[in-house]
């Protein structure tokens, strides 16, 4: 499956398809059961041409399990959901049960992860506010045993249950995608930028948008941990732009005759040192 948008924008990284699957694709990359990993590692592999597969036992981390659509995996966080609330905020060193949990998990954690567990990532001001953040997440349980990330070019629309298309792009191209998402709508709130884990901006938020009469695109990678991992792997300063399938098709149909044929976009590309 090809993308006119990707061709016209000359994306450096190929689009990624998120597919719900009943069977595991052969030779797909997969985390080992019970081993830590970040979905961003798999995303980087997929833009390089590989396929990745996840199931409920190979999610990499609880946040990844939530983002992929395997329900509320924060209950399986080390020490439980309450410890996660302290982890994302002020750190588990600040309460007795958290300190005890830290002692139990220390032998199994990387030093960096243990430091974050005890001292907190400090992405949210307090554990109480993390609770509110969790309550607002569009938790989803997908109806299939597998979620697959694969290059969009490898998708067979007659076979694959394609749910979301993801572009990784620089700021200029993200701006262009935002314009295109609004181009045929007649109102101007067709892209959202929720505070969420990088994988959640690719998974559960677009899943939720797909249920709306006019789905919106989801801008992502405001998760600085995810940005760190992805930048180490791809060496680029990128954001994600995830579209439910219906919006992707709408935007594809709107390319012809749009601003992408105009002088302003061509001048912006020339200013960036690219051919128009």
Give tens-digit pLDDT for 242-275: 999 999 999 999 999 999 999 999 999 999 889 8
CA gap 148, 166 in Å, rounded:
13
Q: What is the pLDDT of residue 64?
A: 97
Say if strands 16-21 and 161-169 run parallel, antiparallel, or are unpaired: antiparallel
Residue 9 backbone dihedrals phi, psi, to 5 degrees:
-80, -10
Is residue 150 within 8 A of residue 17, CB to CB? The reply is yes
- Neighbour-count burial of 185, counting CB atoms closer than 10 A to its CB (0-12 exposed, 13-18 middle, 19+ buried): middle
* pLDDT, averaged across the chain: 96
Q: What is the pLDDT of residue 180?
A: 98
pTM above 0.75, yes or no: yes
Cβ neighbours of residue 160 under 8 Å, at least 6 residues apart?
17, 19, 21, 148, 150
Residue 118 backbone dihedrals phi, psi, to 5 degrees:
-85, -40
Residue-wise pLDDT tens digits, 42-56:
999 999 999 999 999
CA gap 42, 39 in Å, rounded:
5
Q: What is the pLDDT of residue 31?
A: 98
Average pLDDT over residues 200-228: 97
Q: What is the pLDDT of residue 166?
A: 98
Ordered by start, the domain boundaries in the chain are 4-62+141-264, 72-136
CA gap 62, 92 in Å, rounded:
17
């Amino acid at each position: 499956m090809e993308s006119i948008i990707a061709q016209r924008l000359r994306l450096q990284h190929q689009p990624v398809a998120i597919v719900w699957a009943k069977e595991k694709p052969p030779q797909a990359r997969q985390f080992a059961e019970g081993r830590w990993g970040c979905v961003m590692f798999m995303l980087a592999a997929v833009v390089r041409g590989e396929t990745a597969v996840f199931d409920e036992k190979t999610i990499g981390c609880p946040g990844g399990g939530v983002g992929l659509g395997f329900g509320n995996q924060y209950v399986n966080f080390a020490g439980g959901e309450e410890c996660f609330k302290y982890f994302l905020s002020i750190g588990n060193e600040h309460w007795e049960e958290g300190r005890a949990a830290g002692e139990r998990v220390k032998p199994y954690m990387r030093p960096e992860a243990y430091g974050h567990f005890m001292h907190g990532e400090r992405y949210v001001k307090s554990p109480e506010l993390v609770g509110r953040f969790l309550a607002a997440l569009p938790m989803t349980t997908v109806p299939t045993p597998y979620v697959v990330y694969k290059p969009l070019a490898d998708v067979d629309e007659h076979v694959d249950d394609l749910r979301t298309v993801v572009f990784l792009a620089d700021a200029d191209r993200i701006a262009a995608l935002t314009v295109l998402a609004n181009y045929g709508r007649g109102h101007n709130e067709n892209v959202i930028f929720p505070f969420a884990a990088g994988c959640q901006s690719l998974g559960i938020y677009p899943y939720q948008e797909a249920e709306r009469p006019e789905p919106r695109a989801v801008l992502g990678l405001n998760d600085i941990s995810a940005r760190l991992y992805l930048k180490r792997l791809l060496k680029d300063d990128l954001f994600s732009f995830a579209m439910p399938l219906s919006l992707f098709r709408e935007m594809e149909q709107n390319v012809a005759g749009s601003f992408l044929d105009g002088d302003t976009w061509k001048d912006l590309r020339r200013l960036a040192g690219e051919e128009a």
